[in-house]
Amino acid sequence: MPSATHYLDHTATTPVLDEVVDVVTAAMRRTGNASSLHTPGREARRVVEESRERVAEALRVRPSEVVFTSGGTESDNLAVKGTYAARRAADPARDRLVVSGIEHHAVLDPVEHLVAHEGARVTFVEPDGDGLVAPAALAAALAADGGPGTVALASVMWANNEVGTVQPVPGLAAVAHEHGIPFHSDAVQALGQVPLDLSVVDLGVVTGHKIGGPLGVGVLTAGRDQSPVPLTHGGGQERRLRSGTLDTPGIAGLAEAVVHAAEHQASHARHLAVLRDALIEGALALDDGIRVSGPWSPGDTTRRLAGNAHLRVPDAEGDSLLYLLDAAGIACSTGSACQAGVPRASHVLLAMGVPEEEARGALRLTLGHGSTTADVDAFLAALPQALERARRAHAASSRVRA
């Protein structure tokens, strides 16, 4: 077994920052429920509200628009299901959701639930070959299937978790707003890698563990004119949108991570782009038919996430490559960790027009804080042998199927 693992799966989760550990530890040593009225409770409330203000400033929204949740999945569910329920109740004609075909399953699965159980209709906005959703494509989708008056919510993620494409969110939101339609964007992958201003969307989502924060805590930003129907009921915390005892230590750690991500975004992106480009250029230099998914040009951090390298390898299965690289001490992914272990081609690549056979040979390599040149070099050193063995296995499997 290798003596060390080179971690190239920061999109799945990233190591907790030391300063976040310190903040969380200090908060955990204090007792107090932020809903209690006594002195310890008020002290916990102070930590929560100061954290809310820090998060709001970093995300460029008002503190009253910050709703603390357990993470990205809960935030997306509340935004999609809650907004659909509220808008449909106010106007039964609004039974349609307009959603990009490359969303994370935290958005797609709630949409599928609404279609199956709540009578919703969905219009998918397909991306181009780079995974980009154009404002004109969104406008066409809003106009289809009964027109804008039937739409409860439009949703396009800020940056894709698989291929790293950054979307023109301000322009997309403007298209939705022309028709009075609330716009939701999952910005989980964008925070810390591109400039982020969640005031341009009605409902935005970030989470802690993608930026060096704690697991199990995230944020839904909901404009003051947004009133999603809550998914949970109880104590009425967080504008009555998300009842439950507030995780004071987690919230404090989240705020520390969000502020750090916003303050260091530019320098962090430059550092990651250098490593990403070396990784991509080294893989392409093998002249082995490897292709890059999504937009890419050296040094670019505006169209593609700085830390994302997504490669398609012909005549090989992504899962085989993943396990062979793992045995060589390289931790990477074939796509979304939430779908790991499911032997099917990525819906993102299929939506981009990639043939299913080619989509099965995908590798996602993502960098984050702590990533070094040594990580890239280790991957490039291990790749040729992994390719050879994966292709042998693919050829043998194809012969058996034939």
- How far apart are alpha carbons 257 and 255 in whole angstroms? 5
- Residue-wise pLDDT tens digits, 119-155: 999 999 999 999 999 999 999 999 999 999 999 999 9
CATH superfamily of 6-15+265-401: Aspartate Aminotransferase, domain 1 (3.90.1150.10)
Parts of the chain belonging to CATH 3.90.1150.10: 6-15+265-401
- DSSP-H helix ranges across 32-134: 39-59, 72-77, 83-90, 105-117
**Worst-scoring range by mean pLDDT, 87-91, 287-291, 337-341, 344-348?**
337-341
> Is the pLDDT confidence value at 3 over 90?
no
380-383, Cβ contacts within 8 angstroms, sequence gap of 24 or more: 380/279, 380/282, 380/283, 382/325, 382/328, 382/329, 382/330, 383/283, 383/286, 383/325
State the CB neighbour count (10 A cutoff) for residue 356.
Answer: 11
In the sheet that holds 66-69, the strands lie side by side as 66-69, 218-222, 203-207, 183-186, 151-155, 96-100, 121-125
Residue 126 neighbours by CB under 8 Å, 6+ apart? 100, 101, 137, 351
User: For residue 329, what are its two tokens?
Assistant: 């001490």
Provide DSSP, 165-212: BBP-HHHHHHHHHHTT--EEEE-TTTBTTB---GGGSSEEEEESTTTT
- Residue-wise pLDDT tens digits, 164-206: 999 999 999 999 999 999 999 999 999 999 999 999 999 999 9
Tokens 């809310």 sit at which residue?
52
User: For residue 37, what are its two tokens?
Assistant: 């009225």
Q: Are 152 and 87 in contact (CB under 8 A)?
A: yes
- How far apart are alpha carbons 161 and 106 in whole angstroms? 12
Q: How remote is the C-alpha of 166 from its chain's centroid?
A: 11
Parts of the chain belonging to CATH 3.40.640.10: 18-263
Q: What are the backbone dihedrals phi and psi of residue 158, each rounded to the nearest 5 degrees, phi first?
A: -75, -40
* Cα four-point dihedral sign 31, 32, 38, 44: positive
Q: How far is CA 142 from CA 146, 150, 224, 298, in A?
A: 9, 9, 24, 35
pTM over 0.85: yes
- Residue-wise pLDDT tens digits, 12-42: 999 999 999 999 999 999 999 999 999 999 9
Give the residue numbers annotated as catalytic, written as ranges. Answer: 338
Q: Which of 136, 155, 148 is nearest to 178 (CA)?
A: 148
CATH T-level fold of 18-263: Aspartate Aminotransferase; domain 2 (3.40.640)
pLDDT band at residue 392, thresholds of 50, 70 and 90?
very high
> Is the pLDDT confidence value at 1 over 60?
no
Of all residues in the chain, what percent carry a pLDDT higher than 70? 96
